[in-house]
Structure 1
Amino acid sequence: MSSLIGKEGIDIELKAPADKFFDMICNTPNQISDSSADNIQKCAALDGDFGNNGSIVYWNYVHDGEPKVAKEVVEGIDRKNYLISYRVIEGDVMKEFKSFVVKLQSIPKSQGEGCIARWTFEYEKLHEGVSFPKSFLELGKQVSKDVDSHLTQGD
């Protein structure tokens, strides 16, 4: 049974300050499509408001070259540590996973400017034949870099 449960993650070095990166991801994710249009087509709050626990957020995104959708509930926001956690409740990923949680933390660098964007995916597969799509790590990396470029333009 334990082989069905897993965790994957990636750290991405960014130039943007941790608070700015977190603010966009948490409070204005609907603007991510402006900076990462190849990956994120749309983000909308279906129930509640961006930046609030319990809000339902709907994403239109591209994964492995295919248009996908996800409906997520904001499970937790830790503003002090720039951490947000989403639980996927509907969408393409739920075809293969019993549970799928995305955590994104913006960690200030101890030296100089910038931050580390830490993506963590915690999941439970529906069956042994499902493998974690490593391309989710690449998607997180690309979106982070696009948002970073957007936030640091003109600096």
Structure 2
Amino acid sequence: MAQSSESIESAVAGTVLESHPVEIEVMCSADKFYGLFKEDMTQLVNHFPQYYKSVELLEGDGKNVGTVRLWKYTLPGHPADEIFTVKETIAKVDDENRSLTLNVLEGCLLKTYEGFIVTVSVTPKEGAEDSECIVRWCFDLEKEHEDVPHPHPYMELVDFISKELGSLLPD
């Protein structure tokens, strides 16, 4: 999908592809941050119970391509009792570049978007000697038309959890 935040008409008539990147400086090592997402993303339920209500491992080992999870969560700016559900799969793992790609299979996101893919990449911050990293999230989505809403609540959520995780991950 496109790597800029501008819309690009796809080959499918009436479909719009968009890419929404978010970059955050995080106060922890790149290996620790990536390790949480690669090894046990389900810990987000323990770290952020105000947002993540439950996660169920449906298929796979939770770490590799083909893993399927069912998430129940809330979003910033929405009532706390408004619970969203989504089923996602790990579509790509690149340990060398500390990158994971998740593809939404079912759930509330696909009621709004034709397709929704999230990639998180983590790199050490230059000169920070394992104490800081740069986390790049990219939301690639397919919309039926231009009026479909921007994924701002999801971007706000990953910004918040990324910043907070630095102080929550053990040394």
Same fold (TM over 0.5): yes
Which sits farther off after the overlay, 133-142 or 116-125?
133-142
The Cα shift of 1:114 comes to: 1.1
What are the Cα deviations for residues 18-59 of structure 1, in whole angstroms up to 9, with x where unaligned?
111111112101111111111212222110011110111111
Q: Is the 8 A contact 2:52 2:72 kept in 1?
A: yes
Corresponding pairs, count: 153
Q: 1:81 aligns with which of 93, 97, 101?
A: 97
1:126 aligns to 2:147 (yes or no): no
Q: Is the 8 A contact 1:5 1:123 kept in 2?
A: yes
* CA distance, structure 2, for counterparts of residue 120 and residue 29 of structure 1: 17
Check if 1:54 corresponds to 2:72: no
**CA deviation vs aligned residue, 1:88-138 (integer Å, no higher than 9, x gap):** 010111001111000011111111121011110001013332122212111
Structure number with bigger Rg: 2
| 5+ residue gaps, structure 2 | 1-7, 10-14
TM-aligned CA distance change 1:33 to 1:146, over 3 Å: farther
Equivalence for 2:115: 99
CA positional deviation for 1:139: 0.7
The reply to whether residue 108 of structure 1 matches residue 124 of structure 2 is: yes
More helix by share: 1
User: Alignment partner for residue 83 of structure 2, among 53, 62, 67?
Assistant: 67
The alignment's TM-score, normalised by the length of structure 2, stands at: 0.83
- Report percent identity of matched pairs: 29
Unaligned runs of 5+ in 1: none
Deviates more, 1:72-81 or 1:37-46: 37-46
TM-score by length of 1: 0.92
Is 1:150 aligned to residue 148 of structure 2?
no
- Quick check: 106-115 or 78-87, which moved more? 106-115
Aligned AA (1:99): G
RMSD: 1.5
